[in-house]
Amino acid sequence: MDNRPIGVMDSGIGGLTVVRSILELCPRESILYLGDTARNPYGEKADSWIMKCGEELKNFLIARGVKMVVVACNTITFHEPPLFYQDTVPVIGMSTDYSSAGAARKVGIFATPASIRTHAHKKALQSVWPDMETAEVPCEGLAHAIESGEGRAVLKNMLEEAVYQYDAGDIDMILFGCTHYPLIEDLFRELFPSAVFFDPGAVTAERASGILKTCHMEADGDGESHFCFTKKSEQESCLIKKFLHRKEKAEEIRIAGE
């Protein structure tokens, strides 16, 4: 047994969707969450900048004694080299195991521009279903708008424009390629009422849970979580309470390189 916390890192608040999935599977675990809200958004930045910031976030968590690091950010996951995932504790990125997603006629991959540039989601899907049609939709600015607490009308308009621009109106499955997007799943469902939704965050949580069991690292106490952000506003604490049903307050911290 191991009661050290699981470290979860993201460019901002989106990784809380992965935390929810982890705690649903592993309610006794503690979480140390780190969201880089001061430097968000990552999804429109250069590859080298993303890699540098990702390394800083990981090092912060490991220095604080976590037993595992979950990179709850697609943009960071697909830009870091293999060496990034070899460390003193298990380090896992967002899952690209889409075998349970089910075959669809056309899948809409909604992600940040930086994630879309890697084509990681498309390659993973087509490795299972080579003939699957995909529409890659780089939703420029959407993650940051969610971070900033923009209203429903603004967010819906941004989403509609992206769908129109990238010919994604006839999709029958939506793949959330950014952990921020499940926070506005209701808006996606308004636009795509008949579509099937697939959230890799749930599969990532299953992978994390499996590693804990295999390595005998599961917690046997009452989990106590801490949520840290490099720039704090009221939104983080409200989201923790609303989305995770937890009373913990957000804490503002500084990391090297910020």
Could you give the CA distance from residue 172 to residue 174 in angstroms, rounded to a whole number?
7
In the chain, beta strands by DSSP E: 6-10, 31-35, 68-71, 91-92, 106-111, 133-138, 173-176, 196-198, 226-229, 250-252
53 is known as an active-site residue: no
The span from the CA of 241 to the CA of 244, in Å, is 6
Residue with tokens 């669809």: 104
Burial of residue 106 (number of CB atoms within 10 Å: 0-12, 13-18, 19+): middle
Q: Which of 53, 73, 139, 228 is catalytic?
A: 73
- Give catalytic status of residue 178 as yes or no: yes
Hey, which residues does 98 pair with through a beta bridge?
none
What pairs with residue 106 in β-bridges? Answer: 133
Catalytically annotated residue among 26, 53, 139, 178: 178
CA dist 235 and 33 (Å) reads 15
The tokens for 236 are 């983080």
What are the angstrom distances between the C-alpha of 35 and each of 38, 42, 108, 179, 205?
9, 11, 27, 12, 18
Nearest to 78 by CA among 122, 114, 35: 114
SS3 content of the chain, % helix, strand, coil (to 5): 40, 15, 40
Tokens linked to 6 = 């699981």
Q: Which residues are catalytic?
A: 73, 178
